[in-house]
Structure 1
Amino acid sequence: MASEDAAGVGNPADLGDIQRRHWQSTYDANPSMYGEAPSAPAIHAAEIFAAAGARTILELGAGHGRDALHFARAGFTVHATDFSNAGLRQLRERADSEALEGLTAGIVDVRDPLPLPDESFDAVYAHMLLCMALSSEQIVALVREIHRVLRPGGIFFYTVRHTGDAHYGAGVDHGDDIFEQDGFAVHFFPRSLVDRLAEGWELRQVDDFEEGALPRRLWSVVQARR
């Protein structure tokens, strides 16, 4: 658990480092913890990317790669990133076993500027990455970086758990709408944060959907770089 200040709110930097170690050990202990099939958002995103004529995709928070593999199988060139080497190792092993071309993977900490050139991707995909243990200001900075690495007209597709989720407000309160349960910290999004992230973009859609047994309640958001 993160160290706490006098107000009882965890330090975001410390919490992020703790979460990184937690996800690393989780992937080591539970290979393919989310299954082999791609997520429903990835299937939907691939359709949107194809319709937009995208060829190159950057995935942020790829985990063990079930969605990145789906994109690669669909013919996209994919660069998958995560802060867990354990997950990316599983992704590389599966890509090698299928002899998939056009798929690369690398460690990226999204709290730092993305180590990628300007206007280098047609699309960016992030399934629940933005609702990890990131402060609102870190999320805003990350979306600014995503805008930078997208080509004009490029598509950003992301999903986040929101404040209508049953787990919102439960567990350890780290402030800034971040709550931790069972070792996993989640930043639950109010609609105002979605709108803030769309400033300077063309916001195309915000859809509510459910996932998992709870079920988790999420938004999928599609916005395009102007």
Structure 2
Amino acid sequence: MADEKELAEVQRVHWQETYTAHPGMYGEQPSAPAVHAAGVFRAAGANDVLELGAGHGRDALFFAREGFRVRATDFSATGLDQLRDAARAQDVTERVTTVAHDVRNPLPLPDASVDAVFAHMLLCMALSTPEIHALVDEVRRVLRPGGVFVYTVRHTGDAHCGAGVAHGDDIYEHGGFAVHFFPRELVDALADGWRLDEVFAFEEGDLPRRLWRVTQTLPR
């Protein structure tokens, strides 16, 4: 457990320093998964969206521009500062709320308080398998019945899986970033008690990173 806490703190500091050195490092355009998720959320009649691991906010701000009310969380205060500045510049401040939060802790929201949850490559950060299960249990708690969860993760078919520093539990650190590479059975286990709507394989970036986009719905 001490090793897990130490790795988590190292990663938090790393992200703080990365966002400080590279403001808006992912650009202003939304990710392809966020664009897809907006359509899924709209079809489900969602109004309130929670984004986990929002970073400097390119996807959270996109959801706000699309008319959703967004709660954006991240454990990097630096990233959230950049998000709030961008929200003011884009005149969407009234639709965006930010909360500094580490997803290893319970989500700071009441039960059944949001319509949809989005997480782009947050679940595959340096989280242990039990921590990932606990986080998805929290997502289930804060979603309203019929709510939708869209998340993306790098999987075990990714070129960086097995490379770099091994931390156990399919977690490998490469270039300072630790990633938990998902086997398919973990995706299926996280969908237990949900309706698993889609597991879509795609690639992103220059390596390229290999990911799954997962959509699952909470029963009514």
Q: TM-score, normalised by structure 1?
A: 0.95
Question: Aligned with 1:110: secondary structure?
Answer: coil
Find the counterpart in structure 1 of residue 51 from structure 2.
59
Q: Secondary structure at the match of 2:214?
A: strand
Match of 2:195, SS state, is strand
Gapped regions of structure 1 (runs ≥ 5):
none
Structural mapping, 1:1-226, within 5 Å: 11-100=3-92, 101-226=94-219
- The sequence identity of aligned pairs, in percent, is 66
Structure-1 separation of matches of 2:191 and 2:126: 20
Unaligned runs of 5+ in 2: none
Aligned-partner residue type, residue 91 of structure 1: L
Give the distance between the partners of 1:11 and 1:182, measured in 2 at CA.
Answer: 19
**Partner Cα distance (2:12, 2:131) in 1:** 16
Provide the secondary structure at the position in 2 that maps to 1:14. Answer: helix
Alpha-carbon displacement from aligned partner over 1:159-202 (angstroms, at most 9, x marks no partner):
00000001100000000000001110000000010001000111
Helix, strand or coil: the match of 1:89? Answer: helix
Q: Which amino acid aligns with 2:26?
A: Y
**Amino acid in structure 2 at the alignment position of 1:180:** E
Moved over 3 A (4+): none
Give the CA deviation at 1:88.
Answer: 0.4
Superposition RMSD in Å:
1.0
